[in-house]
């Protein structure tokens, strides 16, 4: 289980992001918020970029991005080298994206899932380890696609 994470959102994900931060901090996980800091309309790629750069720099191992659907954040995050972002709306996918794909960014939509499920997904994402083994070859292939 990791003990710190970076999180970001756009305006649509702002309120849910605050709930997730509170939930994770209640478990003793340090959370760094890269914005947005209000529900005022903004552009999601800005915050996906800010979060991904922190992971690329090695400041954080994993991050969570929240927008309306999770799709825009996922697309934006996956434009960054070394980022494997997965948009999940169920616990099975959230667990397997860590175990099999070594995803380092979890994305979901505030207009798609509720607070309880969002917190469950965050819990799974911070506590599930990558299995490696036969999956390592495939993850390496994904990394090669980015070059």
pLDDT tens-digit profile of 7-48?
999 999 999 999 999 999 999 999 999 999 999 999 999 999
Q: How far apart are CA 146 and CA 12, in angstroms?
A: 29
Q: Which of 130, 88, 129 is nearest to 106 (CA)?
A: 88
Q: What are phi and psi of 65, to 5 degrees?
A: -120, 135
Q: Does position 126 have pLDDT exceeding 90, yes or no? A: yes
What does the pLDDT read at residue 147?
80
What does the pLDDT read at residue 14?
98
Domain ranges of the chain: 4-145
Yes or no: domain 4-145 corresponds to CATH 3.40.50.1820: no
- Which of 69-104 are b and which e, b meaning 16 or more Cβ less than 10 Å from the residue's Cβ? bbebbbebbbebeebbbbbbbeeebbbbbbbbbbbb
Reported confidence tier of residue 143, pLDDT bands at 50, 70, 90:
confident
Neighbours of 22 (CB within 10 A): 11
Per-chain mean pLDDT for the chain: 97
**Residue recorded with tokens 């390592």:** 136
Is residue 14 within 8 A of residue 38, CB to CB? The reply is yes
Which sequence positions are flagged as catalytic? 67, 100
- The pTM score is 0.97
Is residue 32 within 8 A of residue 90, CB to CB? The reply is no
Q: Does position 96 have pLDDT exceeding 90, yes or no? A: yes
């Amino acid at each position: 289980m990791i003990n710190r994470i970076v999180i970001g959102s756009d305006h649509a994900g702002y309120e849910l992001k605050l709930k997730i931060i509170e939930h994770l901090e209640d478990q003793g996980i340090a959370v760094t918020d890269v914005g947005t800091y209000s529900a005022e309309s903004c552009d999601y790629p800005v915050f996906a970029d800010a979060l991904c750069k922190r992971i690329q720099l090695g400041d954080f191992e994993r991050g969570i991005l929240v927008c309306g659907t999770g799709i825009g954040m996922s697309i934006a995050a996956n434009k960054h080298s070394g980022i494997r972002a997965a948009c999940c709306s169920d616990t099975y996918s959230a667990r397997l994206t860590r175990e099999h794909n070594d995803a380092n960014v979890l994305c979901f939509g505030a207009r798609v899932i509720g607070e309880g499920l969002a917190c469950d997904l965050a819990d799974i994402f911070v506590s599930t380890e990558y299995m490696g083994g036969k999956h390592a070859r495939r993850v390496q292939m994904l990394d090669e696609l980015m070059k």
